[in-house]
A = this chain, B = another copy of it.
């Protein structure tokens, strides 16, 4: 089964336990008779997928989770659908943090991804146009601009996740998920979380 998660930057594919990402503008050819079951949070990239392959099935509607949240992104729904109990952190262009308890979505929030922090700071002032240094010392107050920006971005995200998790198990996914997972003891990194949620929903419908 070929699955696709159409995100804001990349299209992420899943097939036979393997995952890979492709840019919307240069999608590889897939076998014509194989259906691509997909979800999408980005219309433009979705159009690229539909133009590149005739047999695509949007399975967004199949993913239903119990939640009072209005407007929960379909990728967040999918990742949450894979986990009954715990905190799900999808660290991509944006970082979404969602809490699941006994199969119910209690709510969640959104922070900018690390790349967005970098861009944002560069836009405020040219003197703040620095890379985020992932190796920054988070235990000592910074003594230069690069460290000051990196410390502000990384530590604020970590403190928020710590504050939300308490004793709950943490499930990290997304491009920066592996990086953030290492700051927590009770963390699992699983870059197939969204696809697991899609599969779970598909099994009910197909």
Q: Which residues of B contact A128 (CB under 8 A)?
A: 94, 110
* A156 close to B (CB within 8 Å): yes
Docked CA distance A93–B124 (Å) = 7
B142 pairs with A108, CB closer than 8 A: yes
A99 pairs with B144, CB closer than 8 A: no
B109 pairs with A142, CB closer than 8 A: yes
Of the four ranges (under 10, 10 to 19, 20 to 34, 35 or more), the interface on chain A belongs to 35 or more
Given contacts A70-B144, A156-B157, contact A124 B112 (CB under 8 A): yes
Min distance, Cβ A148 to any Cβ of chain B, angstroms = 4
Given contacts A119-B120, A121-B94, A143-B68, contact A148 B109 (CB under 8 A): yes
Docked CA distance A145–B120 (Å) = 20
Min distance, Cβ A82 to any Cβ of chain B, angstroms = 19
Q: Which residues of B contact A160 (CB under 8 A)?
A: 152, 155-156, 159
B110 pairs with A143, CB closer than 8 A: no
Min distance, Cβ A114 to any Cβ of chain B, angstroms = 11
Can you pick out 14 interface pairs between chain A and chain B where the beta carbons lie within 8 Å of each other?
A8-B124, A41-B127, A70-B144, A106-B141, A107-B141, A109-B152, A110-B121, A110-B128, A110-B149, A111-B156, A113-B124, A117-B120, A119-B123, A152-B160
Q: Which 4 A-B pairs have the closest CB atoms?
A: A107-B141, A156-B156, A111-B152, A120-B120
